[in-house]
Structure 1
Amino acid sequence: MLTALSIRDVVLIEALDLEFGEGLGVLTGETGAGKSILLDALGLALGARGETGLVRQGAAQAVVTATFDTPPAGGAVAQVFAENGLELEPGEPLIVRRIVKSDGGSRAFLNDQPASAGLLRELAPHLVEIHGQHDDRGLLNPRGHRALLDAFGRLDAAPVAAAHKAWRDAEAALAQAQGEQDAAERDREWLEHAVAELRALAPEPGEEEILAGRRAAMQRGEKIAGELQSIAGLLEGSDGGLTRLRQAARILDRIGQDHALLGEALAALDGAIAQAAEAQEKVDAAAEALAFDPGALEADETRLFELRGVARKHRVQPDDLAALHDELSARLDRIEGGGAGIAALALAAEETHRAYREAARALSEARSEAASRLDLAVEGELRPLKLDAARFRTQVEPLDESQWSPSGMDRVEFLVSTNPGAPFAPLIKIASGGELSRFILAMKVALAEEGGARTLIFDEIDRGVGGAVASAIGERLARLAGGAQVLVVTHSPQVAARGARHLLIAKSHDGVVTRTGVTPLDSDQRREEIARMLSGAEITDEARAQAERLIEPA
């Protein structure tokens, strides 16, 4: 519910602070007094385009602040806040502020948190409904008629939405599998060749490293084989160094007793012989370790080149060839068994399609029944509004399957016929201004208890009518106000007399500046204003008496 509206520097309004309450509030004033400015200001707070023409001449910016009572926890407003990462403190009012600068800049805030104008427009339907003769949204927009009918009939479309999602998910899975199968079929010949090649190659993880290490060792052995043989020749044999050392040792052994130094020389020579023998053993062991078979080297090189060549062809590392073989084999297996998988997915798509049709058909039947009740409810409101010859019809027609949605398979539109025998057509196309406003009121009264925003605003919905029709309009607006906050901009004294609160909009001029102001009226002032509406510029006692009579039963 709208509790307060603060306006600064909007067109002719310099500063205005208004408070609102429950029930029916009426706004009256002379033509041209500026009633539309109030609605424009509220529209600005609800995300309307921030035109620079709204900024009062000479002011740097226009500011509108609309305060609403605490949104219910878990409600639509709270959900919008959560989806947009905004905080909504429990128990706190909702404050919407919009600033438009004279240079064209615009800013918006929700409870002092920056927001976009688009977010304000998203919130607006949950806060305020504005209805008028030229309203091309709300009740006159066919895009919202299906939701209004569902709300009237208390119909739950959630099972249909769930069935629709299951159906679309199943179709998507089937389409993906079919696409993969088609692509795989196109690749079958290549896959068969690749799998056969890899199967024949039989690569093993880590095989490249082993082969490369073995190949490098054999290549080193091949390179130094001659040097090892030379070393062996120098150490071994009848003329080798080790043989000569042993010969020298035998001679020293015979003559070592002749001098002490010869004994020492023999001991040193024995050590040299031992070390030379050890060196010879190590060289022999190294030669044995580095020994290679040319055939084995060639085989390892051939295997290594094959692994690397196939890896390059498939653009993987040699160690990944085994995994690639498993992957391609699995793809080939899926081609062979893909038909069965696709058949299962096709069956699932068919079953979910059938489930959606059944759920949507049940919803369609419920909508048709609710449409009949809504037609009767609206037509019951037409006669008191002097639309006796008019007829109302809620058209529920099937959509093409390509248009089926989570909301079902129906298109819903409100149609009217204003004269006997005239065809039914959309309300906005055939109703005159006065008829249009009364149709809107009748529809809103019929739909009044089915949720929606808690604040309803009717902009001159009584234009072009008077007398009993105006009284009927006032009575229905008062009835609506029993379950919601209703504000009406009116020129009708019969409607104004029904108000629980009365605001007078007036224009003043101090010789320099023209301003628009709004004054809450007490009971006496209210009677004077209604008398003015009855009699015109000169208020007579008869008009005052008539105003009193209008107010009393209200």
Structure 2
Amino acid sequence: MLTTLAIRDVVLIEALDLEFGPGLGTLTGETGAGKSILLDALGLALGVRADSGLVRNGAAQAMVSAGFDLGADHPAFALLSENGLEFEPGEALVIRRIVKADGGSRAFINDQPASAATLRELGGMLVEIHGQHDDRGLINPRGHRALLDAFGRLDVAAVAAAHADWRAAQEALETARTDLENAARDREWLDHAVEELTRFAPEPGEEAMLAAERSDMQKGARLADDIEAVNAHLEGSEGGLAALRQAARRLDRIAPEHPLLGQALEALDRAVIEASEAEDRLAAAAEAMRFDPARLETAETRLFELRALARKHRVDPDNLAALRDELSSRLDRIEAGDAGIAKLEQDARFARQAYEKSAEMLSNARRAAAQRLDLAVAAELAPLKLDAARFRTLVETLPESGWSPAGRDRIEFEISTNPGAPFAPLIKIASGGELSRFILALKVALAEQGSATTMIFDEIDRGVGGAVADAIGERLKRLSKDAQLLVVTHSPQVAARGASHWLIAKSHDGLVTRTGVRPLDSAERQEEIARMLSGAEITAEARAQAMRLLEAA
């Protein structure tokens, strides 16, 4: 709901601060008083294209600020979140727009900079403005399908899910076909590559193992003499290890004679153990690095072939085994390709049939809802002096290229304003006054299906009076039970229906002309409605008639 509107330096409005409440609010004033300026200012806040011509003469910039009170689940908050704008759930939403006299504009949402595009999208969620030249909202066919679905309480979730399943099945089929075609073109290369890799039988980690083995044998050839010399000092009856063991045996016989001899024996035993371990390690190292020309040649050949194969296939040597498995799988898919494609084709066919069935059920439900909507709108036309007009909801099946998660239908509201005249879109056939009344009839029929919490009707009663104006007022009053309505009107019958009433008027101080807006109390309201009834001279009868209208409302 729109709660506040602050305007600074917009055309003839120097400074204006308004507060709004729920229900039906009416704005009246003499022709030329500046009602259009008020709507232009609000439109600026809602993202309408900025025009420097709106800046009051002599001012550097114009500013409009609009405050809204929204429910915590209002879709506007999701839009703010998507655009990275911070907000506190339940807090007031304030939109501010500044237009400079030399061109350019800035927009703010809760004091955070925002783009004009974001402002326009947000504005469409907050306020519906219905005027004689309105080409949005109910006039735009792009929104008619959603309105019909909401009117009929139709759930499109099942169709959307079926469409997603169908697209997924179709994409899987197309991917498989592409893979199969690509694989078939590479069949000869695949056969050769798999045979080569299988024959070579690479293993993960093999390169490092071969490189280490080659390095060890090369070191062994270089260190063989040193290892043999060290062995000579340790091995045999004359070697160092034998001497240590002989010394240990002799010391063992005399060790009980003194504690130090016992300690010496313990140290000597450790030396024998360590020397034995050194002898074993030396033998193992000699074996590991044993130079075998044939074995070295075999390791080097395997290593070089492994690396060459990896370069050929542009992979790491450790990934050759995985590549072999992958290429083998591609060959297997070629072999089983026809059967796999047939299964995917069947899945896609069944998924399409499921979507078509679900979409057809939705189409039938839409046609039934369209008939109910047509009857509901038709019931509103005669009281609004549209007796000769006919309304219909066109439900047309789209070609397959137009099928979507929302179904297979194109929905558009059409009218015929004269007997025998063909149906045509609202915007192309209705005059200004007729268009506004058609919108009102639609809004009444659709009841709570609009997304915006505030609706503004600009001179919806132009060119009508008496019973028709009263019918318009009654319907506006009915709509205002579930939404906030602001109506710019010249009709006393409509003005009397409002829960609140503002007067728009010009004033002159001899130099400057200004437009002002002020709320009317009960007495002032009676006087304004009397003026609307009688013209320049307000009569007692006009005041009495104004009172009767207010009491009847």
> What range is the shorter-chain TM-score in?
0.7 to 0.9
Counterpart of 2:245 in structure 1 is: none
Asked if the contact 2:216/2:288 (under 8 Å) is kept, the reply is no
Counterpart of 1:163 in structure 2 is: 162
- CA displacement, residues 136-172 of structure 1 (integer Å, 9 cap, x when unaligned): 1111111111111111111111221222122222222
Q: For structure 2, which runs of at least 5 residues remain unmatched after alignment?
A: 230-280
Are positions 1:16 and 2:13 aligned together?
no
**In structure 2, what is the Cα distance between the partners aligned to 1:61 and 1:202?**
80
**In structure 2, what is the Cα distance between the partners aligned to 1:114 and 1:95?**
12
Asked if the contact 1:72/1:78 (under 8 Å) is kept, the reply is no
Deviation at 1:77, TM superposition (A): 2.5
Counterparts of 1:109-188 in structure 2 under 5 Å?
109-188=108-187
Are positions 1:205 and 2:238 aligned together?
no
Task: Pick closer, same or farther for the CA change 1:526–1:193 going to 2, 3 Å.
Answer: same
Are positions 1:3 and 2:6 aligned together?
no
Counterpart of 1:452 in structure 2 is: 451
- CA displacement, residues 4-44 of structure 1 (integer Å, 9 cap, x when unaligned): 21112222211111111222111111222211121112112
Counterpart of 1:303 in structure 2 is: 302
Structure showing greater Rg? 1
Asked if the contact 1:433/1:464 (under 8 Å) is kept, the reply is no
**In structure 2, what is the Cα distance between the partners aligned to 1:196 and 1:354?**
44
What is the DSSP-based 3-state SS (H/G/I as helix, E as strand, rest coil) of the residue aligned with 1:53?
A: helix
**In structure 2, what is the Cα distance between the partners aligned to 1:156 and 1:215?**
72
Task: Pick closer, same or farther for the CA change 1:209–1:519 going to 2, 3 Å.
Answer: closer
What is the DSSP-based 3-state SS (H/G/I as helix, E as strand, rest coil) of the residue aligned with 2:485?
A: strand
**In structure 2, what is the Cα distance between the partners aligned to 1:463 and 1:502?**
18
Question: What's the C-alpha RMSD, in Å, of the aligned pairs?
Answer: 2.9
Counterparts of 1:218-229 in structure 2 under 5 Å?
218-219=217-218
**In structure 1, what is the Cα distance between the partners aligned to 2:73 and 2:287?**
84
**In structure 1, what is the Cα distance between the partners aligned to 2:189 and 2:405?**
43
Counterpart of 2:513 in structure 1 is: 514
Counterpart of 1:38 in structure 2 is: 38
Counterparts of 1:59-98 in structure 2 under 5 Å?
59-69=59-69, 71-98=70-97
**In structure 2, what is the Cα distance between the partners aligned to 1:103 and 1:154?**
50
**In structure 2, what is the Cα distance between the partners aligned to 1:506 and 1:283?**
112
Counterparts of 1:154-303 in structure 2 under 5 Å?
154-219=153-218, 292-303=291-302
Counterpart of 1:51 in structure 2 is: 51
Deviation at 1:116, TM superposition (A): 2.6
Counterpart of 2:414 in structure 1 is: 415
**In structure 2, what is the Cα distance between the partners aligned to 1:106 and 1:283?**
87
- CA displacement, residues 466-517 of structure 1 (integer Å, 9 cap, x when unaligned): 2322222122212212222111111222222222211111122222222111
**In structure 2, what is the Cα distance between the partners aligned to 1:90 and 1:299?**
75
What is the DSSP-based 3-state SS (H/G/I as helix, E as strand, rest coil) of the residue aligned with 2:455?
A: strand
- CA displacement, residues 316-366 of structure 1 (integer Å, 9 cap, x when unaligned): 232322222222222222222333333333332222222211211111111
**In structure 2, what is the Cα distance between the partners aligned to 1:465 and 1:285?**
113
Are positions 1:350 and 2:349 aligned together?
yes
Counterpart of 2:277 in structure 1 is: none
TM-score normalised per structure 2: 0.84
Counterparts of 1:314-353 in structure 2 under 5 Å?
314-353=313-352
| Aligned residue identity for 1:34 | G
- CA displacement, residues 216-239 of structure 1 (integer Å, 9 cap, x when unaligned): 4545666789x99xx9xxxxxxxx
Between 387-396 and 116-125, report the one with greater CA deviation.
116-125
Asked if the contact 2:147/2:450 (under 8 Å) is kept, the reply is no
**In structure 1, what is the Cα distance between the partners aligned to 2:467 and 2:200?**
98
Task: Pick closer, same or farther for the CA change 1:207–1:530 going to 2, 3 Å.
Answer: same
**In structure 2, what is the Cα distance between the partners aligned to 1:19 and 1:132?**
22
What is the DSSP-based 3-state SS (H/G/I as helix, E as strand, rest coil) of the residue aligned with 2:42?
A: helix
Task: Pick closer, same or farther for the CA change 1:195–1:529 going to 2, 3 Å.
Answer: same
Task: Pick closer, same or farther for the CA change 1:43–1:201 going to 2, 3 Å.
Answer: same
What is the DSSP-based 3-state SS (H/G/I as helix, E as strand, rest coil) of the residue aligned with 1:552?
A: helix
Are positions 1:552 and 2:548 aligned together?
no
**In structure 1, what is the Cα distance between the partners aligned to 2:472 and 2:47?**
29
Deviation at 1:426, TM superposition (A): 1.1
**In structure 2, what is the Cα distance between the partners aligned to 1:13 and 1:221?**
100
TM-score normalised per structure 1: 0.84
Counterpart of 2:380 in structure 1 is: 381
Counterpart of 1:535 in structure 2 is: 534
**In structure 2, what is the Cα distance between the partners aligned to 1:533 and 1:289?**
114
**In structure 1, what is the Cα distance between the partners aligned to 2:222 and 2:479?**
105
Deviation at 1:107, TM superposition (A): 3.0
**In structure 1, what is the Cα distance between the partners aligned to 2:545 and 2:290?**
128
Counterparts of 1:492-507 in structure 2 under 5 Å?
492-507=491-506
What is the DSSP-based 3-state SS (H/G/I as helix, E as strand, rest coil) of the residue aligned with 2:448?
A: coil
Counterparts of 1:418-429 in structure 2 under 5 Å?
418-429=417-428
**In structure 1, what is the Cα distance between the partners aligned to 2:390 and 2:285?**
111
Task: Pick closer, same or farther for the CA change 1:161–1:224 going to 2, 3 Å.
Answer: closer
Counterpart of 2:487 in structure 1 is: 488
Asked if the contact 2:11/2:56 (under 8 Å) is kept, the reply is yes
| Aligned residue identity for 2:444 | V
| Aligned residue identity for 1:41 | A
| Aligned residue identity for 2:130 | H
**In structure 2, what is the Cα distance between the partners aligned to 1:286 and 1:146?**
84
Task: Pick closer, same or farther for the CA change 1:376–1:283 going to 2, 3 Å.
Answer: closer
Task: Pick closer, same or farther for the CA change 1:541–1:315 going to 2, 3 Å.
Answer: same
| Aligned residue identity for 2:465 | G
Total equivalences in the alignment:
506
**In structure 1, what is the Cα distance between the partners aligned to 2:191 and 2:287?**
46
| Aligned residue identity for 1:463 | R
| Aligned residue identity for 2:6 | S
Task: Pick closer, same or farther for the CA change 1:492–1:289 going to 2, 3 Å.
Answer: closer
Task: Pick closer, same or farther for the CA change 1:332–1:126 going to 2, 3 Å.
Answer: same
Between 134-143 and 1-10, report the one with greater CA deviation.
1-10
**In structure 2, what is the Cα distance between the partners aligned to 1:450 and 1:500?**
23
**In structure 2, what is the Cα distance between the partners aligned to 1:118 and 1:99?**
15
Counterpart of 1:263 in structure 2 is: none
Asked if the contact 2:72/2:90 (under 8 Å) is kept, the reply is no
Task: Pick closer, same or farther for the CA change 1:105–1:295 going to 2, 3 Å.
Answer: same
Task: Pick closer, same or farther for the CA change 1:513–1:198 going to 2, 3 Å.
Answer: same
**In structure 2, what is the Cα distance between the partners aligned to 1:158 and 1:346?**
25
Between 531-540 and 357-366, report the one with greater CA deviation.
531-540
Deviation at 1:283, TM superposition (A): 12
| Aligned residue identity for 2:26 | V
Between 405-414 and 444-453, report the one with greater CA deviation.
444-453
Task: Pick closer, same or farther for the CA change 1:449–1:301 going to 2, 3 Å.
Answer: closer
**In structure 1, what is the Cα distance between the partners aligned to 2:105 and 2:346?**
55
What is the DSSP-based 3-state SS (H/G/I as helix, E as strand, rest coil) of the residue aligned with 1:447?
A: helix
Asked if the contact 2:24/2:486 (under 8 Å) is kept, the reply is yes
Counterpart of 2:247 in structure 1 is: none
Counterpart of 2:242 in structure 1 is: none
What is the DSSP-based 3-state SS (H/G/I as helix, E as strand, rest coil) of the residue aligned with 1:449?
A: helix
Deviation at 1:289, TM superposition (A): 7.6
**In structure 2, what is the Cα distance between the partners aligned to 1:97 and 1:299?**
82
| Aligned residue identity for 2:447 | A
**In structure 1, what is the Cα distance between the partners aligned to 2:218 and 2:477?**
104
**In structure 2, what is the Cα distance between the partners aligned to 1:316 and 1:479?**
75
| Aligned residue identity for 2:352 | H
**In structure 2, what is the Cα distance between the partners aligned to 1:94 and 1:107?**
17
What is the DSSP-based 3-state SS (H/G/I as helix, E as strand, rest coil) of the residue aligned with 2:97?
A: strand
